[in-house]
Amino acid sequence: MSTFRISSRMRRNSPAGSFRLLAALLFTGTMAPALAEGIEPPTKGQTVYVPIYSEIRHGNVASSGKSDSTLMSVLVSVRNTDPSNPIRVVAAPYYNTDGVLIRNSVQTPRVIAPFGTFELFVELRENAGGSGANYAIKWDAATPVSPPTIEALHSKFQAGYSVAFISRGRAISEP
């Protein structure tokens, strides 16, 4: 159990000072968790950078100067978090480690219903992306909406060991 002490200096403050203290405590108690989770204001669109690790390096560097590497499959999930309005994924260019465009994975806009999900998949056998691959997913909406959650689930499952982790997208621009 924590205790809160008001210093003698705070007790001597005017009623306005007490109100400011109370407001600050209420803001901290109710808004801090929301701010910590990164709740974004509604918007009509964004370009979201999503790191993709289609290949991960591990182990030691050999005499050849290279380390071991493992290819990963990646499921990119674009989740519409708005309960009332659809969004559109307009483009999903996929870039390799050197920033060279490999392909646009969305040739025509795809509508995602409220609370719906759109998925992209990078196969395990694909090695064109490398350890620094990424998507720059562009989406839009007719009205301001809650921005989607965009994550990439990386995985490799085989006898002896399994690897799985998530990378999260972050908005890099708005229209």
Query: Helices in the chain by DSSP H: which ranges?
Result: 8-11, 15-37
Q: What number of CA atoms fall less than 13 Å from residue 17's CA on the CB side?
A: 8
pLDDT number for residue 52: 97
Token pair in block for residue 79:
């989740």
Give the CA-trace dihedral at 22, 26, 27, 32, to 10 degrees.
140
CATH code for residues 43-173: 2.60.40
What would the mean pLDDT of 72-95 be, rounded to a whole number? Answer: 98
**Structure-model confidence comparison of residues 21 and 45, the more confident one:** 45
Q: What percent of the chain has pLDDT over 70?
A: 78
* Whole-structure pTM value: 0.76
Q: Pick the more confident residue, 68 or 18.
A: 68
The sign one gets for the Cα dihedral 67, 68, 70, 71 is positive
Q: What percent of the chain has pLDDT over 90?
A: 67
Check whether 51 has a pLDDT greater than 70: yes
Residue-wise pLDDT for 119-174, tens only, equals 999 999 998 999 999 999 999 999 999 999 999 999 999 888 899 999 999 999 99
Query: Does residue 1 have a pLDDT over 60?
Result: no
What are the structural domain ranges in the chain?
A: 8-37, 43-173
